[in-house]
Structure 1
Amino acid sequence: MSFRDDVRAWLATTPRPDGLHDYGPTPTVDDVPAGRAWQRILADAGYACLHWPARWGGRDATVAEQAAFAEETARAGVPRQLNIVGPDLVGPVLMTYGTAAQQERYLPPIRTGDDLWCQLFSEPDAGSDLAAVRTRAVRVDDGWVVDGQKVWTSGGADAEYGLLLARTGGPGYAGLSVFVVPMTAPGVIVRPLLQMDGESKFNEVFLTGVALPAEALVGVEGGGWAVATATLGRERLSLGANAVSMFRALDDLVDAAAVRGRFDEHLRDRVTDLWIRVWLLRATWERAIAEGAEPGAPAFSVLKLLSSETQRDIGDAGIEALGLDALWSEDEEPLVHRMLVGHAQTILGGTSEIQRNIVAERILGLPRDPYRP
């Protein structure tokens, strides 16, 4: 059997922890217990951290295998891993830039789900423009002291550790460094942010006089931008899984409109257009993988842009399908939820504006805008 067949058969026969559902890349507080249990099951079966080297419990999986696993877990209605930050972002960063001691300490509990991680990058005035980060780490005799604020930190309320981007030098990218921060350290305060869909997956994090040992530095001082960019793009491997969920959303949308007598010619045309766009997205995703594109390649920026804007438009179409019921309907909760979070897709994981810049500069060869510090 193929790798996809093996995964599909395993998912069909493996018992699932109570309360497990496909919560996406980030669990809520209530999702964490089932998510941890599921991560241990994945680890025991050899499906956790597929892209990691075998030395660290992975399978050296190809990009195509990783993408197939993401798609099959979406079809089965389960998360492909506990969360995105530890396995997909922090793990590869530590393997590339971390010391042997950091790797031995942090990698095994990421794979088994014992340690959750969050990413402390964005700030109130530095979201997509990370060169504007103001959180500062000051060197002291026995390490560093950190002061600053982060926001939009996914999973910060549940995480044991955070990967922090802070300023250790002057302005611009060259003044940035990356650190490991225990989220229970004195001076770290996490405040969940209530989203319009009722969830609180995002958080704001305040760091006041947080003392870190010298060994908390990941890579070299001033090398933070290289470390930060190494964490970007891996979530785009799940674009095929997004296509699965978008097809389901379109089915739900059609059913909801038909029940309400709202599936008129205009909405049929709109749904047909969205259906075609999802198929084109999936076909382009498969072609990029077949051609060997890596997650950080410009091709995945094209896909991220197309996926985000299609998800946004499906959410908007849900308003038309539900009519006044879009204000809130318990029976159509998944469709209402998609409507509420649709526009967020064009922000999270790299804004659509940033993706357009990448396409313009790296694919079309257009000149970069001059940097203004």
Structure 2
Amino acid sequence: MRFREDVTRFLETAPRPAGLHDYGPTPSHGDVRAGRDWQATLAEHGYACLHWPAEHGGPDASVADQAAFAEECARAGVPRQLSMVGPDLVGPVLMRFGTPAQQQRHLARIRDGRDLWCQLFSEPGAGSDLAAVATRAVERPDGSWQVRGQKVWTSAADSADLGILLARSGGPGPGGLSAFVVPMRSPGVTVRPLRQMDGESKFNEVFLDDVVLGADQVIGTPGAGWAVAKATLGRERLSLGANAVGMFESIVELETAAAAHGRLDDALRDQIVEAWIRVWLMRVTWERAIEEGTDPSGSTFSVLKLLTSETYRDIADLGIAALGPAALEEEQPLVKRMLVGHAQTILGGTSEIQRTILAERILGLPRAPR
């Protein structure tokens, strides 16, 4: 409780860079400058990389405190960090698999916002199925690596300083994958932003045309890429409960909009009440998991991921009912939420994958035919 109160006071008094807003887990190109400054402020006051151990410059905060911080940032309308990828994914991976030189080179720069990272995992033919990654890394006689391939849906690639890359260095399947650090301004790296239907361009295509990486840019050992990839999954789920803040705000917005457009009838009111109940159930389930010390990368957090994604989608769809024909007007504040709502059931692990995990690992049902 004391930690949450300290966080609230800090967020009320901390200087905010011009243009800072809660842009979510990844900044758009225009958010990066403010995001870097905000990350530096968080680091200065001990609120950066809360889950990092003290030996790597973090406060080693409890899971409950991490979750409270995420929720209070959502209430204050600010991001909890520059980006999810560096602090939540790359940092812990380097602590576990990286060499001392890699840790010394990268961790402090992640913590204080000097370096922004992106995640070079998904490909046109390997989105949800990372074991099918086809980007090729070939070891050269001098120990360096030559990489060729294409990545897609890479958040913040157009602004990132570095990327964590999953590439095929051996045969088919998970055992043939390796992980690398890629300086995003290396010769042969081309980034093409993808314009989304909500008007933003957070996603990018990345082309790797014979990019040369040094032997010291391998994370772990060659062939350990699948272990590295698995270690990056699940960390973002600590902040799932913070999504409830934005969902409650969305429900209030759509109720107000429906009343203003004369569309708040009994049927829509019942749907709004149901959505409100679902958000409270999601938040309570999240709090219970945090109190029980559940591992965020474990199977049980798939319940929360599935519940959060589909509740977000359904609330977004209610915006259509609330606005009616006015939903065609792009300046409507609910339209953006409506456009991105269905993406929540895809990013971070599709709902289909979450259901498979729940069926096989929690309910013990037979594995689906491969």
Q: What does residue 213 of structure 2 align with?
A: 212
Residues 1:51 and 2:51 aligned together: yes
TM-score for the superposition, normalised by structure 1: 0.98
* Counterpart-to-counterpart distance in 1, 2:217 and 2:317: 44
Q: What does residue 353 of structure 2 align with?
A: 354
Shift of 1:369: 2.7
Please tell me whether the aligned partners of residues 319 and 326 of structure 1 are also in contact (alpha carbons under 8 angstroms). Answer: yes
Shift of 1:56: 1.9
Q: In the alignment, residue 86 of structure 1 is paired with which amino acid?
A: G
Shift of 1:178: 0.3
Q: In the alignment, residue 315 of structure 2 is paired with which amino acid?
A: I
Unaligned runs of 5+ in 1: none
* 1:25-36 matched pairs, under 5 angstroms: 25-36=25-36
Unaligned runs of 5+ in 2: none
* Counterpart-to-counterpart distance in 1, 2:266 and 2:85: 43
Shift of 1:295: 1.2
* 1:276-355 matched pairs, under 5 angstroms: 276-330=277-331, 332-333=332-333, 335-355=334-354
Partner SS state of residue 264, structure 2: coil
* 1:116-265 matched pairs, under 5 angstroms: 116-142=116-142, 143-265=144-266
Partner SS state of residue 147, structure 2: strand
* Counterpart-to-counterpart distance in 2, 1:357 and 1:152: 23
Q: What does residue 81 of structure 1 align with?
A: 81
Q: What does residue 24 of structure 1 align with?
A: 24
1:180-221 deviation digits (Å, cap 9, x = unpaired) = 001000000000000000000000100010000011110111
Shift of 1:16: 0.7
Q: Deviating runs (4+, > 4 A) in structure 1?
A: none
* Counterpart-to-counterpart distance in 2, 1:186 and 1:45: 37
1:114-158 deviation digits (Å, cap 9, x = unpaired) = 000000000001001011100010000221000000000011000
Q: What does residue 267 of structure 2 align with?
A: 266
Q: In the alignment, residue 208 of structure 1 is paired with which amino acid?
A: D
* Counterpart-to-counterpart distance in 1, 2:65 and 2:212: 41
Shift of 1:368: 2.1
* Counterpart-to-counterpart distance in 1, 2:256 and 2:56: 46
Q: In the alignment, residue 340 of structure 1 is paired with which amino acid?
A: L
Partner SS state of residue 298, structure 1: coil
Q: In the alignment, residue 106 of structure 1 is paired with which amino acid?
A: H
State percent identity of aligned pairs: 70
* Counterpart-to-counterpart distance in 1, 2:365 and 2:105: 44
Shift of 1:370: 4.1
Residues 1:107 and 2:107 aligned together: yes
* Counterpart-to-counterpart distance in 2, 1:159 and 1:186: 15
Shift of 1:367: 2.2
* Counterpart-to-counterpart distance in 2, 1:327 and 1:181: 42
Partner SS state of residue 348, structure 1: coil
Q: In the alignment, residue 44 of structure 1 is paired with which amino acid?
A: E
Partner SS state of residue 281, structure 1: helix
Count of matched residue positions in the alignment of Structure 1 and Structure 2: 369
1:16-45 deviation digits (Å, cap 9, x = unpaired) = 111000000011111111111100000000
Q: In the alignment, residue 356 of structure 1 is paired with which amino acid?
A: R
* Counterpart-to-counterpart distance in 2, 1:141 and 1:110: 32
Q: In the alignment, residue 327 of structure 2 is paired with which amino acid?
A: A
Shift of 1:347: 0.4
* Counterpart-to-counterpart distance in 2, 1:366 and 1:196: 38
Q: In the alignment, residue 134 of structure 1 is paired with which amino acid?
A: A
Residues 1:71 and 2:84 aligned together: no
